[in-house]
Chains A and B, each alone.
Chain A
Amino acid sequence: MNPTSVLPIVEKYNNRRGSLISILEEIQSQYGYLPSEALQVVADRTGRSLVDIYGVATFYKAFRLKPRGKHLICTCLGTACHVRGGPSIAQEFEGQLGIKRTGETTPDKEFTLETVMCLGACALGPIVVADGHYFPNVTTSQVKTIIGRTREGLDKIEVQKDKRIFPVEVACPRCNHTLMDPDHLVDGHPSIRVTVSFGEEHGWLRLSSLYGSYTIETGSEIPMGTIAHFFCPHCHAELIGASNCMACEAPMVPMIVQGGAIVQICSRRGCRSHMLDLDATAVT
């Protein structure tokens, strides 16, 4: 890793009191663990000793000093899950993945197996969490399926089957010209075409018109975390709303949905924040 890439995170907090845990959380969300070089940078920049930083990093369960596998499977062994058979579930996972001890990663770096003391969802026990997806009332016979589905990717949405996903048709809030591109399909539906610019780059961006799908296609790859400016390809006005993203504070991009609603998406690459406002009538 390049230690200087940690600098913006540390500087964002401006050495504010009480910000150390937030800094470590952000570093970990970027790298998946806390690299020792990063901790050294944090120590240098905050003026605290490395041993202090290390102390905090090892105290909290959420922080890891070692990289983890691609997928994380976590079995709850809290008291309630324990009495309902949590340990045999954990054992089954260990057996099927060939992992000897919890906390270890398979040699192909695909799976890391962990246990947790209590997830606060005792009514659903025994619980397994795979990549953030909760599986309630797990039995040992389901272990194989869970591993299989996790390997395929649980975040992968089955566009055709998922009822939460529906296509929307959108137009520019300035000139009201449709943004739909029927000739270029994304997810099997007409895509939404806009022009984007970031840094020195300009290009096209096609978004899936399925509400709930995050598939995009771009002319030039936008780096993760970059805030892009969105423009209407017809009137060339910048699509910029009054509000900022609630998750990352980047500006939101408004578009009119046919039928009278307004959909806003976050302009930061990788941020999945979006809002569908069914009451809205106009946007300036």
Chain B
Amino acid sequence: MEKYLLPDIRDLHRIDVYEAHGGYKAFRKALQMKTEDVTEEVKKSGLKGRGGACFPTGLKWTFMPKQSDKPKYLCVNGDESEPGTFKDRQIFEFNPHLMIEGTLIAAYAMGGSISYIYVRGEYGKWIKMIEKALHDAYAKGYIGQNILGSGFSTEIIVHRGAGAYICGEESALMNSIEGDRGYPRVKPPFPAQNGLWGRATTINNVETISNVPLIIDRGWEWYSKIGAPKYPGPILVGVSGHVNKPGVYELPTGVPLLEIIHKYAGGVPGNKAIKAVFPGGSSTMVLRGDQLEGVCMDAESLKAAGSSVGTAGLIVMDEDTDLIKVIARIAKFYYHESCGQCTPCREGTGWLWKILNRFENGEGRWEDIDLLLDVANNVEGNTICALGDAAAWPVQSMVRRFRDEFERRAKIPRPKVLEAVAV
């Protein structure tokens, strides 16, 4: 299929090459349109956020106040810290101007006076590349005062993160830009009412914002026909784990997971069977290898299969993988990254890790299996932000879908009396 986000064009990161291939045409077009028409176009296209929550992007934009004499902000979320996800980095490196153009169109549609591109601190090399791209765009007059004579003015600033997973959460991201600890904020008020510096703010993922120029350039009807009807557009799928050709593949949404693994990522080394996959990064629900038939990389299909599209970071695990070790590792990650604000998450993530650590060391007890579910269920939905859910889901799904693994590893086996009841 044709590639739109990461086309095979040499040196596309250079502004002259980008312009020669129709770059900034969509932005020029948007400047001729009425701001509400731009938003409407994005709304009709059916574009949904690629950062994990799948929220309709156009609808999000309409939450911003129309008439306001106060400054409005746009944040482009490039914190990309989800284990298994490495798609935004490809945009930073190979097509940064697409992201900048999308940011400009979004800022124009919402009347944003300053846009922050929040990039995770570990991406030092890519931050320099984005800064270079911004510098060139400023020099060409696409950013700044009275852009291209339209009377519209906006600024774009790159903000470097300092290494905290939680800062990918939108309200923590705003606190981090403000120079504080990245603590998520209680919602409501939502960012569109009270966001960065207390002003109206919209936060979009890097990949989401990079889809915007395509919609404006070719129209919502064209865009909505790509891929799965309810989750349209091109999507960057990052495949990692036990595959022959790990990497980021641009595909239309709705490609079956098995096709991605076997056709694009070159299959599993040694032709081993797939034991499990995380379809969208480590915080999505794990799927069994034998339930993948017919499941597609699309929000609806994955929801029906009992998981979610997340950030489309597909982690493949073959039949020899020790899933207990995997889930213990994931639990440790969330325990480490929990900001500590909400008790269920702060204590729950540590508790989950402790129990899973027991299983890892062969000390697991029979009743621990249900305890894992009990703890995870009490973390889920009881926290300010979604990190609690993200920590609970992989554990819940792992216990539900691979209960036999836990039972086999339990040091203290199933009590006799329970066995009698079960029979």
Asked if A21 is an interface residue, CB under 8 A from chain B, the answer is: yes
Q: Choose among A62, A78, A82 the residue that contacts B121 (Cβ–Cβ < 8 A).
A: A62
- Contact (Cβ within 8 A) B240 A246: no
Asked if A237 is an interface residue, CB under 8 A from chain B, the answer is: no
Asked if A80 is an interface residue, CB under 8 A from chain B, the answer is: yes
In the complex, which residue of chain A has the Cβ closest to the Cβ of B166? A59
- Residues in A with CB closer than 8 Å to B163 are 60-62
Segment 155-192 of B: residues with Cβ below 8 Å from A: 160-165, 176-182
In the complex, which residue of chain A has the Cβ closest to the Cβ of B325? A82
Asked if B120 is an interface residue, CB under 8 A from chain A, the answer is: yes
Number of A-B contacts (CB under 8 A): 121
Asked if B282 is an interface residue, CB under 8 A from chain A, the answer is: yes
Chain B proximity of A126: nearest CB distance (Å): 11
Chain B proximity of A88: nearest CB distance (Å): 11
Asked if A63 is an interface residue, CB under 8 A from chain B, the answer is: yes
Distance in angstroms between the alpha carbons of A77 and B317 in the assembled complex: 15
Segment 9-27 of A: residues with Cβ below 8 Å from B: 17-22, 24-25
Q: Choose among B135, B162, B197 the residue that contacts A60 (Cβ–Cβ < 8 A).
A: B162
Asked if A120 is an interface residue, CB under 8 A from chain B, the answer is: yes
Q: Choose among B82, B122, B247, B321 the residue that contacts A119 (Cβ–Cβ < 8 A).
A: B122
Q: How big is chain B's contact interface, by range?
A: 35 or more
Given the contacts A21-B162, A84-B242, A79 and B181 also touching, CB distance less than 8 Å: no
- Residues in B with CB closer than 8 Å to A83 are 241-242, 315, 317, 321, 326
Asked if B37 is an interface residue, CB under 8 A from chain A, the answer is: no
Q: Choose among A20, A24, A82, A122 the residue that contacts B326 (Cβ–Cβ < 8 A).
A: A82
Q: Choose among A19, A21, A77 the residue that contacts B176 (Cβ–Cβ < 8 A).
A: A21
- Residues in B with CB closer than 8 Å to A247 are 128
Q: Digit string of B227-251 for contact with A (CB within 8 Å is 1, else 0)?
A: 0000000000011111000111000
Q: Choose among A24, A55, A123 the residue that contacts B240 (Cβ–Cβ < 8 A).
A: A123
- Contact (Cβ within 8 A) A79 B84: yes
Give the most central of B81, B124, B132, B278: most A CB within 10 Å: B81
Asked if A117 is an interface residue, CB under 8 A from chain B, the answer is: yes
- Residues in A with CB closer than 8 Å to B317 are 83
Asked if A190 is an interface residue, CB under 8 A from chain B, the answer is: no
- Contact (Cβ within 8 A) A55 B181: yes
A selection of 14 A-B contacts at a CB cut-off of 8 Å is: A18-B179, A21-B176, A56-B181, A62-B163, A79-B282, A80-B240, A83-B326, A117-B83, A118-B81, A118-B83, A120-B86, A122-B83, A124-B246, A132-B124
Given A21-B176, A80-B83, 14 extra CB contacts under 8 A: A62-B162, A79-B282, A79-B329, A83-B315, A116-B122, A117-B81, A120-B120, A120-B123, A122-B83, A122-B84, A122-B86, A122-B313, A123-B246, A132-B124
